[in-house]
Amino acid sequence: MTTKIERRIKIKYSVRNKVSGTTERPRMSVFRSNKQIYVQVIDDLSGKTLASASSLGMEAMPKKEQAAKVGELIAKKAQEAGITSVVFDRNGYLYHGRIKEVADAARNGGLKF
C-alpha cells in the first residue's frame, strides 16, 4: 500500500514527463506545505527560475486567501518579466482548494494557461 506522499510523487513524475517549460511558455510550478504555498515560473531549457512568489509573511489571513494573493502576485511578477503565457504544473496535488485558488487568481491577473 502506498502512502499519500508516495502517491503524490508518482503523480508528480507522471505530470513532469508530459509538462515542460520553454522560453516562450515557462512552467508555473506550485508547492503547497501545511502552512505556506510557493509558486515559481521556471524555464526548463535553461534551468532558471524567472519569477517566484510565496505566502511567507501572510500568516494572519486564511489559507485560501493566501493562495489567491500568491496567484495575483505571481501574475504581476511574471508580467513584469515579460511572461504572458505559462504551462501549469500542479506538482502532483489535486486541482482543488488552494491549488485551484492560485490558478484562478493567476488567470485573473492576466496569465494564460
Q: What per-residue confidence (pLDDT) applies to 24?
A: 85
φ, ψ of residue 65 to 5 degrees: the values are -70, -40
pTM here?
0.89
The CATH number assigned to the domain with range 4-108 reads: 3.30.420.100
Q: Which residues neighbour 82 within 8 Å (Cβ) at sequence distance 6 or greater?
A: none
Calculate mean pLDDT across residues 88-102. 94
- Strand, coil or helix: what is 111? coil
% of the chain at pLDDT higher than 70: 99
Q: Which residues neighbour 32 within 8 Å (Cβ) at sequence distance 6 or greater?
A: 38, 91, 93, 98, 99
Report pLDDT digits (tens) over 34-77. 999 999 999 989 999 999 999 999 989 999 999 999 999 999 99
Picking from 84, 102, 81, the residue whose alpha carbon sits closest to that of residue 32 is 102
Q: Is the dihedral of CA 91, 96, 99, 100 positive or negative?
A: positive
Calculate mean pLDDT across residues 27-32. 95
